[in-house]
Amino acid sequence: MQEKEYCDWLSQYTDCDKCMDAFHNQKSFFRINRLKGSRELKLKAEQSPYYDSAFELKEDIQIGKTWEYFLGLIHPQSLPSILVSLVLNPGPDDVVLDAAAAPGSKFSHMAMLMENKGVLVGNDYKKEKISALYASINRLNVLNCIVTIRDAKELGWKERFTKVLLDAPCTALGSGAGASQRWNPEHSERISGIQKKMLFSAYDALKKGGEIVYSTCTYAKEENEDVVQNLLDNVPSAELAEINLDIPHEPGAGECSRCCRIYPQHLQSEGFFIAKIRKGE
């Protein structure tokens, strides 16, 4: 898709010029890993006002080449991605499923929020992705976990988890450099069908009274509100929950106004969509 055509399409959601300018000038963020204890970092960084374990890097270095990274003291992660786990907010008593866990950024953050207690199941479909998940588990000292290899469209679990995260595969318009040139609306429509099946399967795995967070790093309504609304329309027990985080965002479209659309200009980071759904008794 040509840049002008893409900008015309994006303008239905947000200010394209502000969005694209922020997209190409994103700040670098990382998260402290408190599973390795509390240590003083020598990196030049500024604490985020939205979360005390998130920091903006203030020097021109590659985080993945620092000793802090190799020792598992920090993990590079965009600010909206960090906020996804905070929306689900799992605790030490929860039994949690991350239905598409690799490479493990949100998975390891949830382990930290759970204080390495409870049960955290990390699932993914491809063995090569599982290898990346294991690397994150080992480096970041995640101990309360089980790893499974299942198709997230057909997990086969019924009411086993108190909380579920589905950070679904998507067209990555909010994070992938050059994604707009590779993308077209038909791509979103095709992947939307997969996402809908994944959300139904993940919702089935959730216990009554539990909560599921659905997130993507893209903008298309087909991959966001349409997926969530499809579940709400077909499952009477599903209801949208408020997202009680004080963060800059725009509401979701239509009946999904309780969802969060975070664009690059909001946090000078990647774009994200976040929805929180509760399973009624």
98: domain CATH number is 3.40.50.150
Q: Are residues 218 and 253 in the same domain?
A: yes
d(CA 41, CA 43): 6
171 and 197 part of one domain: yes
Give the amino acid at 95: V
**Quick one: 190 and 73 in the same domain?**
no
- Pick the more confident residue, 39 or 105: 105
List residues bridging with 29 in a β-sheet. Answer: 56
33: domain CATH number is 3.30.70.1170
Asked if residue 62 has pLDDT above 90, the reply is: yes
> Do 215 and 140 reside in the same domain of the chain?
yes
Alpha carbons 273 and 281: distance in angstroms, whole number: 26
For residues 175 and 143, state if they share a domain. yes
Q: How far apart are CA 150 and CA 141, in angstroms?
A: 24
In a domain, 31, yes or no: yes
Residues 53 and 166 in one domain: no
Kindly state the average pLDDT of the residues 136-143: 98
Q: Which range of residues forms the domain containing residue 61?
A: 27-77
Give the residues across from 46 on adjacent strands.
56
Number of structural domains the chain divides into: 2
pLDDT digits (tens, 9 = 90+) for 228-265: 999 999 999 999 999 998 999 999 999 999 999 999 99
pLDDT for 183-227, tens place per residue? 999 999 999 999 999 999 999 999 999 999 999 999 999 999 999
- Per the annotation, the verdict on 259 as an active-site residue is no
- Give the pLDDT score at 177: 83
Q: What is the spatial distance between Cα 271 and Cα 277, in angstroms, rounded to a whole number?
A: 20
Judge whether 78 and 29 are in contact, CB under 8 Å.
yes
pLDDT at residue 1 greater than cutoff 90: no
Give the active site residue among 16, 170, 217, 256.
217
pLDDT value for 143 = 98
Rg (CA), the chain: 18
